[in-house]
Amino acid sequence: MNVFKDKTILVTGAGGSLGSVLVEKLLNLKPKSIRALGHSELPLYNLVERVNHDPRVRPILRDVMDLDGMRMAMEGVEIVIHTAAVKSVDIAHYNALHAIRTNVDGTINIVKCALDSPCFERMIFISSDKACYPVSLYGATKMLGEGILNWAQSISKSKVFCCTRSGNFYGSLMSVLPLWEQQAKEGKPLTITDRGTKRYFIKINDMADFVLEVLSGARGGEIFIPRKEIMKEYRMVDLANKISKRHKIIGLRPGERLIEPLWTQEERSGVSYNGKFYTLNNPFTKKHY
């Protein structure tokens, strides 16, 4: 069933790598309108150009930290895909208050608007594997975001709130791969934090398909994790070798660790696999206040 047909959909972070691909894919699902929300004008302008000024895409220049602004943006919205965030571990570390206001307070603002709206139906929050046993401020904000969505589900009987948890995106401008390519082009050694570092990677196109698939079938309270056929774990040194054999070890940065797990030991008993993706069911969402 196409749950997006004839619906008014809000995509936050719509000018970003994942958000812009989601907007393009949603257009093929025949929505009534897509409110493409972002806090920067140029990415929204580029998105409008990419979709050939499709009248169903309405660029909304707004910040998720602005509750009054989000109330206006959310009026009449039935589905929310929340990708907006401060996504860099380093930038979040050095801009802690801004990262918290964006990633946590911004998520609270959207959930408040959703709970208050009589026409709202479902929302998905894009989390990260760094939410497991977080050792960085960024990971902690994503853990809190998951908790906010689970709390919203626990007090709502008719609305659906769910999350995805994934690794890094291939093709993202903020991933390490473009940096390595630039370093190789300039004849420099590739900077690697540690030879033992491993990371999960998923293509942006595959992630967008996954988000739309799980959001369509979500019942509420789940954290969905892509199957390992489309999200694979790589040794970072092996990825670097595909670009250049010249490396420079710089050591782990603040908030970084060797391996990022997909779920915690405590969550393991709640993980199920249906052949297409993993589902982590939160027991606290089975009872309503």
User: What average pLDDT does the chain have?
Assistant: 94
User: Please, which residues have CB within 8 angstroms of residue 244's CB and are 6 or more apart in sequence?
Assistant: 180, 183, 184, 189, 190
pLDDT tens for residues 63-81?
999 999 999 999 999 999 9
Which carries the bigger pLDDT value, residue 285 or residue 210? 210
Percent of the chain with pLDDT over 90: 89
Rounded-to-integer distance, Cα 259 and Cα 214, Å: 26
CB 64 within 8 Å of CB 106: yes
Beta-ladder partners of 164: 126, 224
275 is a domain residue: yes
How far is the C-alpha of 84 from the C-alpha of 100, rounded, in Å? 12
1 is written with which tokens?
Answer: 């069933």
> Which tokens hold the place of 51?
């979709």
Q: Does residue 261 register a pLDDT over 90? A: yes
Q: How many domains does the chain have?
A: 1
Residue 239 placed within a domain: no
pLDDT given at position 283: 59
Which member of 87, 130, 248, 286 is catalytic?
A: 130
Task: Give pLDDT, residue 288.
Answer: 44
Give the residue ranges of DSSP H helices in the chain: 17-27, 41-50, 67-74, 89-94, 96-100, 106-116, 137-154, 176-185, 204-217, 236-241
Active site residue 130: yes
Beta strand 271-273 with 198-203: parallel, antiparallel or unpaired?
unpaired
Q: Does some domain include residue 56?
A: yes
Residue 285: pLDDT band by 50, 70, 90 thresholds? low
CATH number of the domain encompassing residue 17: 3.40.50.720
Residue 287 banded pLDDT, cuts 50, 70, 90: very low
- Does the residue 195 lie in any domain? no
Q: Pull the structure tokens for residue 273.
A: 């696999």
Question: 83-107: per-residue pLDDT in tens?
Answer: 999 999 999 999 999 999 999 999 9
> What is the structure's pLDDT at 1?
66
37 within a domain of the structure (yes/no): yes
Q: For 227-238, what is the mean pLDDT?
A: 93
Could you tell me the sign of the dihedral formed by the alpha carbons of 27, 83, 236, 176, in that order?
positive
Does residue 180 lie within any of the structural domains?
no
Range of the domain at 37: 8-167+202-228+262-286
Q: 65 in a domain, yes or no?
A: yes
Q: Are strands 33-38 and 168-170 parallel, antiparallel or unpaired?
A: unpaired
Q: Above 80 in pLDDT, residue 148? A: yes
Residue 176 has a pLDDT of: 87
Query: Would the pLDDT of 260 be above 60?
Result: yes
pLDDT tens readout for residues 158-198: 999 999 999 999 877 677 888 999 999 999 999 999 999 99
Residue 187 lies in a domain: no
